[in-house]
A = this chain, B = another copy of it.
Amino acid sequence: MYRISDFATLSRVSAKMLRHYDELGLLPPAHIDPETDYRFYTVEQLPRLNRIVVLKDLGFSLEQIAGLLDDDLPVEQLKDMLRERRTDIEQRIQEEQQRLRQVEARLAQLEQAGRQPGYEILLRPISPMLVASAHAQLHTDAELAELLNAVEEFVSRKRARAARPPTVVYHACEQAMMKVEVAIPVSSPLQGVDWVRPAELPGVNLMACLVHTGNDRGLSQACTALHQWIDTHGYQVAGPMRERYLRYSSALDLQLPPAFVASHPDAAMTEIQVPVILASAA
């Protein structure tokens, strides 16, 4: 019979943890003094405690361990839990390696430029969105602006406008022609089909996003930076680029100097989005 501190040094498990395992019913003491409530343990309990420790090292939660300690647990069920653990761990390793690549790229970038970049690129899932959609083949940005305004007006008249910024999807860009889709978020699906159609802008598992403040020239630079980032971080483009207009600006159309635009309270703000997948998964 060992008192709790002796059993703790014997087993190299803290007294606090032993009390915790008692509370959870994982390892009740062999004996409890009814007078003093002191806990007493025996060496026979050591193998069970070691099983707990090993299973904890494998990454199981104490609740799972409670089940795993059952002697009647069928071998198949044990295997299933181990396989699930394996999948979890593999996924976590993937995530951490991805994270490691990001940290390293950031360090390299800092070494090279000597300062932080003026933008942040983030990777996240995008959920699908109800929109009013119009497809078109265009030649100039002015035509795009016109189309955007027209669809906005259409949706406003239907009183369906949701309080979210509009998105343009670039389905194809060749020479001087681009196939675009203008997508205006709606709060309820539009009724009927017109030149503006109800649609669901599809979700994207992994979207590389960059928010840019300023005019057109900077925008194409930002776009280049985004594609470089995608390359150096081991991703591949996996769908058509999108632009989300967080704020329109007259400065977008006028060709003003960047310094002015950046400090201008009405400066345009645009999110460039590119769907990606891990290059290794392609």
Residues of A within 8 A of B (CB): 2, 6, 9-10, 12, 43-44, 46-47, 50-51, 53-54, 57-59, 75, 78-79, 82-83, 85-86, 89-90, 92-93, 96-97, 99-100, 102-104, 106-107, 110-111, 114-116, 119-124, 126, 163-165, 209, 211, 213, 246-247, 269
Contact = CB atoms under 8 A, between A and B. Distances in A.
Nearest to A118: B47
Contacts of A102: 57-58
Contacts of A58: 99, 102-103, 106
Contacts of A78: 110, 116
Dominant secondary structure of chain A at its interface with chain B: helix
B107 A86 contact: yes
B164 A6 contact: yes
Contacts of A126: 12
Contact of A120 (B6, B51, B106, B122): B51
B107 A54 contact: no
A2 B162 CA distance: 13
Contacts of A103: 58-59, 82, 85-86, 89
B107 A43 contact: no
B10 A164 contact: yes
A47 B86 contact: no
A110 B50 CA distance: 19
B9 A164 contact: yes
23 contacts: A6-B163, A9-B164, A10-B164, A43-B246, A43-B247, A47-B119, A50-B122, A50-B209, A50-B211, A53-B120, A53-B124, A57-B99, A57-B123, A58-B102, A75-B110, A79-B107, A85-B103, A86-B103, A89-B96, A90-B100, A93-B96, A93-B97, A96-B96
Given A122-B53, A246-B46, A75 B107 contact: no
Contacts of A6: 163-164
A115 to B, nearest CB: 6
Contacts of A89: 96, 99-100, 103
